[in-house]
């Protein structure tokens, strides 16, 4: 809720008093189940459109049609979906107790523990800045990762450092005692 106050008008739907008709948990579920997948599909579509019109890589053969790259990409995607579906059937994720508004009793799933660690160590600003640093780095990589330059080596070492920091943060958060993050100071 503190993040909604920081976001200003964009955070209004995440305020508890935004609408009395639907609780905050229901709105958050709707966001994660409907809106975020749509945003992901739009971003992926934009990415594929850019690859089609700008080429797969700057040093690649410009005469190769886009379809030739889609076939192996589609094959790998189908293989990944098949493996993930088999894992989901073989070892389904347990359903936990439903969330209770105003009470924090769980830790997030392991891919998000690094955010939990950032919030444990630095409060709400840490949880907001950690993804900004990661996605900022990912946005800079295509510009700075040019073969044969000194900046490319720095970019790679920075990526390794960020990856190691994420692994350490996940391990820290997995073993750290649970903390209440509601009503934290900014």
Higher pLDDT, 160 or 180: 160
For the segment 2-11, the average pLDDT, to the nearest whole number, is 74
Mean pLDDT of 80-96: 88
Residue 48 has pLDDT above 70, yes or no: yes
- For residue 31, the model assigns a pLDDT of 81
pLDDT value, residue 11 = 78
For residues 51 and 101, which has the higher predicted lDDT (pLDDT)? 51
C-alpha distances in angstroms, 70 versus 49, 51, 76? Answer: 12, 11, 10
Q: Write out the H or E segment, with its range, that includes residue 150.
A: helix 150-175
Query: Average pLDDT, stretch 11-26?
Result: 79
Beta-carbon contacts of 52 under 8 Å, excluding residues fewer than 6 positions away, are 66
Question: Using CA atoms, how far apart are residues 1 and 13, in angstroms rounded to an integer?
Answer: 10
Distance CA 142, CA 144 (A): 6
CA distances from 102 to 99, 126, 182 (A): 9, 21, 7
The per-residue pLDDT for range 90-146, each reduced to its tens digit, is 988 777 666 666 666 667 778 888 998 998 888 888 888 999 999 999 888 878 877
Q: Which residue has the tokens 């790679």?
A: 156
Of 6-20, 31-45, 92-106, least confident by mean pLDDT is 92-106
Lowest mean pLDDT among 32-41, 138-147, 149-158: 138-147
pTM given for the model: 0.55
Across residues 42-46, what is the average pLDDT? 89
């Amino acid at each position: 809720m503190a993040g909604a106050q920081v976001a200003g008008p964009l955070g209004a739907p995440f305020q508890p008093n935004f609408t009395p008709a639907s609780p905050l948990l229901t709105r958050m579920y709707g966001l994660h189940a409907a809106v975020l997948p749509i945003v992901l599909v739009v971003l992926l579509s934009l990415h594929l459109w850019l690859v089609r019109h700008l080429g797969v890589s700057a040093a690649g053969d410009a005469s190769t049609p886009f379809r030739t790259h889609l076939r192996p990409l589609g094959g790998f995607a189908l293989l990944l979906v098949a493996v993930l579906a088999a894992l989901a059937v073989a070892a389904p994720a347990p359903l936990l107790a439903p969330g209770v508004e105003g009470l924090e009793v769980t830790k997030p799933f392991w891919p998000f523990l690094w955010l939990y660690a950032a919030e444990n160590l630095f409060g709400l600003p840490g949880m907001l800045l950690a993804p900004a640093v990661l996605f900022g780095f990912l946005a800079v990589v295509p510009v700075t990762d040019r073969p044969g330059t000194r900046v490319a080596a720095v970019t790679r070492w920075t990526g390794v450092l960020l990856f190691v920091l994420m692994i350490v943060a996940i391990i820290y958060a997995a073993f750290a005692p649970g903390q209440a993050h509601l009503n934290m100071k900014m």
